Each structure stands twice: as C-alpha cells, then as structure tokens.
Amino acid sequence: MDSSVTAALLLEQGYKVVGVYMKNWSQDLPGMICPWQEDYQDAKRVAVQLGVDFKMYDFETEYRDRVVQYMIDEYQAGRTPNPDIMCNQEVKFKLFLDTALADGADMIATGHYARINNAETGFEGQPQLLMGLDKNKDQAYFLYRVTQPALGCSLFPLGGYEKPEVRKIATRLGLVTAAKKDSQGICFVGKVGIRDFLSQFVTTAPGSIIDQHQRIIGTHEGAIFYTIGQRHGLDVGGGLPYYVVGKSMIKNEVYVTTQLDDPRLWRKEMTLSALHWINNPPEPGHSYTIRTRYRASLINCQLGKPSFDEITGSQNITAVLQDEIRAITPGQSAVIYDNERVVGGGIVV
C-alpha cells in the first residue's frame, strides 16, 4: 500500500514513474506459503491502475547471500541481527539502486516513512536523512546505513505524511492495495517467526536454562533462539517471570533471572562497531540522542573518541547514556540522531 501511494504521489508531482517488483524470496517454509506471487500481482494491478510501466528485478540469489546468510551467521555467533537494516544497505539502496540507474532511471523512490533534506545549507549541500513526520511510523532507524550518495538518488514521498493519511489517499484513489495490511516478519520472506525460519538452516540441540543462583531450572531448544531481555518462550513455569540475561553458544546454555534489577539486564554504556556515518562523523563534545532498537525511546548520550579494533579491523565508539537502558542486545543496531537528523550508528558489541 505504501509503495502504491508513493507511485501515485510521484505521478501527481509530474515524475515519469516505472513500477518495479523486487523478487527477493520465493521459498515456501513449513506452515507458511511465501506471498511473493500475490504481492507481485498486487503491484502489477496497481501499475495498470496508475497507467505506468511495470517490471520485475530478480535479486533472490543476492538476497540469500547478502541478507539471509548474514542473519544466519549472526545468530550462530550468539548475536541478534536486524535483517531489515542489512536489506536496506545491501539490496534496496545498493543493488536495486545500481540496477535501476543502469536501467535508465534517474532516481529510485520507496515507501519509507523518512525524509531527505536536500537543502544547500549544511554539510556542503549533502543530502541528510531525517525522521519521518509520523513518529509512530518513522523508519529512519532502518536506513542509518544508507550512504549519502544513495540518498542523493532517492525519494521518500511518504516522509511528510502520517500513516492514516496515506491509507486514506489509497482509498480515495481506489488502489487495489488500499486495504492491504503492512508486511510482517522478516523482510520479503513473509509472516514467519524467526525461530521457524532459522530452524530451516541451522542444527540445534537442547541445553540447560540456568538461573541467577546457578541452578538448572529447565531445558531450551537451542541457545541460538534466545535474546537478551526475552521473557516469553522459556517454558520454565511457576513463580516469578524469568528474563534472559545472557547465553553461551559454546556451552549451549541460556542464563535467566527473576530480578528485574539484575545488572546484567541494564547498561548505561555500550560499544558500537561497524560504524557508519551518513554525512560527517559525530563532533566531539556535541550532545546527541540514541535509539537502541526500533520504536525505543530516544535517550541523550555522549560519544567517546573512535578507537581501532585490531581483531575486527574496524573502528569502535563508546556511547555513554544519560539513563540505564534495559536489554541492550549484541548484534542490534544503535542509531544516533542530532535532533531529527540521522547521524549514523553502529552494531552493539
């Protein structure tokens, strides 16, 4: 629905529009039929309604290599990745962009709820990524690894709209996707749980669940499936709820606690690796805000000086938070903002 309205708005603004469906995944999984054919037909119907040309780009091999394999590798290493962010970095704003430009396009447009500031002031005229107007739907978090040159060739027509208004536009135009629900689950794969998805690609074994008193209180189905702060799915039953505070991939153990104030659940400082800055690196001494997961509240932070990690071969940076944050999770992305502008971010170590 978002992409459909994006195309309609661009037509109203005088752009020549070509609809493109990216075929990134087509494999059915147990209990879930991949919806790619239905999505493709819906996109094709919208193109007919709007009177625009339509084509399909097949990126299935590249998506498996660059997004799915990345996700599997991260989970096997005991981390919790965000495949949507990697999809934006590697597929939408790299592979798709390059393919579209080579195919004769001048720019690409997506239905993301984010904004691009192309003002000539600041950052030597570089495009800047800004939060979407609708703070409940803002998706700038997922775009922090997009490069500045890619932003210069991109359009986000929905960034200045709120979601209910976009759906009203789709209804007013009679688009066949007007009532289509937002996609759920892993990007392009469909509404499937991460456990069900990973089970198709990794081998797991039962292991021990150990509480804060070093007692074995239950058995898990594989440490790979658990993440910091998780409460549901432990199946240990009785008494106070348990929260995951850590795990060992080598021992195949999951560590839990019933204490909400357990220091392993809370952090006021974190290290970020695989740094990416859209325009310029953060300024020393400047105050920024940080978001540690999608929809998490922004919190004030102070950033240290970047340091080189000889093991990973990349720069790291330390973020000291104004308040302690619960369940900061290795592998997730922490995104840094300067008011509404996305500065960049990195992966939590």
Catalytic residue among 34, 87, 153, 301: 87
Fill in the amino acid letter for 58: D
Measured distance CA(335)–CA(276) in Å, rounded = 10
Measured distance CA(146)–CA(129) in Å, rounded = 9
Q: Is 87 a catalytic residue?
A: yes
In order of 6, 115, 141, 247, 291, the CA distances from 301 in angstroms are 35, 23, 17, 27, 10
186: which strand partners?
A: 190
Rounded to 5 degrees, what angle do the CA atoms 321, 140, 349 make? 40
Helices of type H across the chain: 2-12, 36-50, 60-63, 69-76, 83-87, 97-102, 148-151, 163-172, 194-198
Residues 6+ apart with CB under 8 A from 232: none
Q: Is 301 a catalytic residue?
A: no
Measured distance CA(105)–CA(112) in Å, rounded = 19
The structure tokens 């119907």 sit at: 45
Rounded to 5 degrees, what angle do the CA atoms 321, 322, 328 make? 40
* Max Cα distance, the chain (Å): 67
Helices of type H across 34-80: 36-50, 60-63, 69-76
Catalytic residue among 34, 153, 187, 301: 187
| Residues annotated catalytic, as ranges | 87, 187
